[in-house]
Amino acid sequence: MNTHRDSSFWSRLTTLCVALAFGVEACVPTAPVAPVAAPPASGGAPAATAAPVARAASDSIQIALPGYAFSLNPEIVRLAQVYSDEHPDQPPIKLTLSAQAQDLIDTSKFLLETKEQRSSFDAWFGITPFIDTVKLVEGGVLDPWDSYLPADIKADIFPSNLQEGTYQGKLYSWPQITSVTGLNYRPSLLKAAGYDKPPTTWDEMLKVTGDVDAKTKPVRGVSFDTRVWRSLIPLSVSLGGDSAFGADGYLNWSDPSVSGALDLMAKLAKNAPPDIFTATGDVDVFKTSQSATLIKYVDAGITAAKAFGMNDYAFAPLPAAQAGGKSRTVQWGTGFALFKYAKHKKEVADFISYLVKSDDYQNGWINSGEPIVLQSWYTKLGDKTPAWLAANSAMLQDARFIPPTKDFLQMATVTKPWVEKVLKGEATSQEALQGSKADFEAALKRTS
């Protein structure tokens, strides 16, 4: 027997097996990461189980929350404890922190459990309607809230937030907070360029940012996120309202508002630093005082303002197409989703109603710079409404939403390179939109 040949054969076989295993394993659906217990809240209360230990863990109202919900609004933990104490006749509230809940990875866990006709949770905070709804409804994961959401609360929610959470006539996202694209700015940097007020039209915006660029070097005029739903869609809606979306819910590729928005972005990009092409560069330059304005939702601006101080931060509605015109923009909310195989549907709805009606809960969001979705609250706050929240309120009255569609993320992925080409002057807006449409259709054809 030729031992050398033999060992060489096994060596090759092993090599092949190792490579094959690593390669294929990288692309195979794997078991999602199990949720972990929540860290203690700032007050020191145990967060994982908000109810007395004596209660059976197997009979509890289970709610999954992403890590950011705990850090933004620690009141949730305290209120869950209070609610459990006040309702000894009901199963206790158990909040579970899921580090990945804001990622799509975690929805795989929900889909998998649904196929097994079970659910670890009754509700999940973290649904982003335009990304998650279709997938989770088609996968049979969700039940609508319509039978459980109290009418008074429903009537109080901004219409746009309700509409975006609705799919095929049923409400799948019970909205809690919302991101509204507007204009974050630094009053001191605008003043240095000779402006006391933020621009109210896009023409003014181009002039102001151009002047900042020229007069306050190295500070640049503007910064914005190049992702499709964070600039192209809000700007398209700002210019054309509802016509920015086609009947299928995707971008209306041939609408003048969309090509106009791309042209506007290209003009703005001349007054923007190159960081807008990196993952978080748009916020980083605003945070480090290298950009006077930032087109994004308010929480990004407030987070950045922690670096330079809230006294030099302001938020204004997105500029309008024409002088005296209405400022229109896009909002998307984050809400609670109800699982089809939830064991305590009514009870979890009761708890969320309790949360929603709690001043501490709503103030918890506001204190973190998260706009809330209840219209009455904006009246209730009156003169005490923070300026940034008032600007949000003004836009929310007439905000558009991104319709839930099956392939939104794929559309955004294939469109982004074309947007970047326009911003770099490598393609016209018309070429980019035609190219995006063709690429999107080809991608759908391949995988459908």
Q: Which is nearer to other proteins, 255 or 275 (CB)?
A: 275
Burial, 194: exposed, middle or buried (Cβ in 10 Å; 0-12, 13-18, 19+)?
exposed
Q: Which is nearer to other proteins, 218 or 324 (CB)?
A: 218
Which residues have C-beta within 8 Å of that of residue 240, sequence separation ≥ 6? 255, 256, 257, 258, 260, 321
Q: Which is nearer to other proteins, 50 or 402 (CB)?
A: 402
For residue 366, give Cα distances in angstroms to 371, 373, 374, 385, 411.
6, 11, 12, 10, 33
Smallest distance from other proteins to CB 254, Å: 23
Q: Which is nearer to other proteins, 176 or 231 (CB)?
A: 231
Q: Which is nearer to other proteins, 22 or 34 (CB)?
A: 22
The Cα 229–Cα 438 span in angstroms is 19
Smallest distance from other proteins to CB 136, Å: 7
**Partners of 66 in the β-ladder:** 98
Number of neighbouring beta carbons within 10 Å of residue 264: 23
Helix (H) or strand (E) holding 169: none
The Cα 401–Cα 136 span in angstroms is 19
Q: Which is nearer to other proteins, 394 or 444 (CB)?
A: 444
The Cα 77–Cα 46 span in angstroms is 8
Smallest distance from other proteins to CB 247, Å: 19
Q: Which is nearer to other proteins, 388 or 440 (CB)?
A: 440
Smallest distance from other proteins to CB 421, Å: 8
The alpha-carbon radius of gyration of the chain (Å, integer) is 24
Beta carbons of 124 and 63 less than 8 angstroms apart: yes
Pairing between strand 174-185 and 314-316? antiparallel
Q: Which is nearer to other proteins, 135 or 344 (CB)?
A: 135
The Cα 212–Cα 298 span in angstroms is 21
**Partners of 125 in the β-ladder:** 336
Smallest distance from other proteins to CB 387, Å: 27
Smallest distance from other proteins to CB 31, Å: 9
Summarize as ranges the residues that interact with other proteins (CB under 8 A): 4, 8, 11-12, 15-16, 18-30, 104-105, 108, 111, 134-136, 138-140, 273-275, 277-281, 284-285, 288, 290, 406-407, 409-410, 413, 416-417, 420-421, 443, 446-448
Smallest distance from other proteins to CB 444, Å: 8
Smallest distance from other proteins to CB 187, Å: 21
Beta carbons of 439 and 284 less than 8 angstroms apart: no
Helix (H, G, I), strand (E, B) or coil at 332: strand
